[in-house]
Amino acid sequence: MPASQGNVEKAISLLARDHLVAARLSRGIQQPRQRAERNRPARRSGRRFWQRLSLHPHFPQAWNNLGVILSDKKQTADAIAAYRHALALRPEFADAHYNLAISLHSIGETAGAIAHCRQAVTLRPHWPQACNNLGIWLAETAQFPEAVAAFDDALASRPDYAEAHNNRGQCPSADGAVERLRSAPIAAPSPCDPMMPRRTAISATP
């Protein structure tokens, strides 16, 4: 078994505990009996997720969601392994391509990020966040005409997308465009932030 796969499986075995700890931290200090009662749903939720992956290892949505959890915990290498496993099970899984692209970019693998983001956009053409990210990464590698086209695609799908408008304006095909793009104001994270990994709902349909 590859080392990365072993790490992912270790992460699965710790998933229930992680969910329980997170639930305790978010609720603060409580009386012992109240804490035990209130944490039962979190314990059951984590155990169900672990059981689903253990019993159904060929379930791409679960591997993608595991990657998101690992990414949230800054365990990027294991998150990448989980996304790649999801894609091995379902190569046309747009969310896993998108999430893998984000994780690859976070460790400096911009070429890989661009390749997987392109695949995500190909599979889901009208995805403004993915188009915006693709444009940013293309600009970082000085592929300015393609970056402009990606920002235009984002705006075609979402005309009120302020970040894409800003990035489009900061991306002329000239020297110094990358630095201007990087120094542009960045909006506060939100549920639809383009850099937030996407979870997919666990369902019975692979």
- The CB-side HSE value for 42 (13 A sphere, CA atoms) comes to 17
Interatomic CA distance for residues 89 and 102, integer angstroms: 20
Contact by Cβ (8 Å): 12, 54? yes
Contact by Cβ (8 Å): 150, 138? yes
Which residues form the domain of 205? 92-206
CATH number for the domain harbouring residue 170 = 1.25.40.10
Is residue 156 in some structural domain?
yes
The pLDDT of residue 204 is 36
Number of domains comprising the chain: 1
Is residue 82 in some structural domain?
no
Is residue 62 in some structural domain?
no
Is residue 161 in some structural domain?
yes
User: Tens digits of per-residue pLDDT, 77-95?
Assistant: 999 999 999 999 999 999 9
Is residue 127 in some structural domain?
yes
Is residue 31 in some structural domain?
no
Name residue, tokens 């920002």. 151
Interatomic CA distance for residues 39 and 109, integer angstroms: 39
Tell me the residue type at 144: F
User: Tens digits of per-residue pLDDT, 86-129?
Assistant: 999 999 999 999 999 999 999 999 999 999 999 999 999 999 99
- Give 172's DSSP letter: -
The pLDDT of residue 95 is 95
Q: What is the mean pLDDT of each run of 10 residues along the chain (206 residues)?
A: 51 47 36 41 55 78 89 92 96 96 95 97 94 94 94 95 91 54 42 54 40
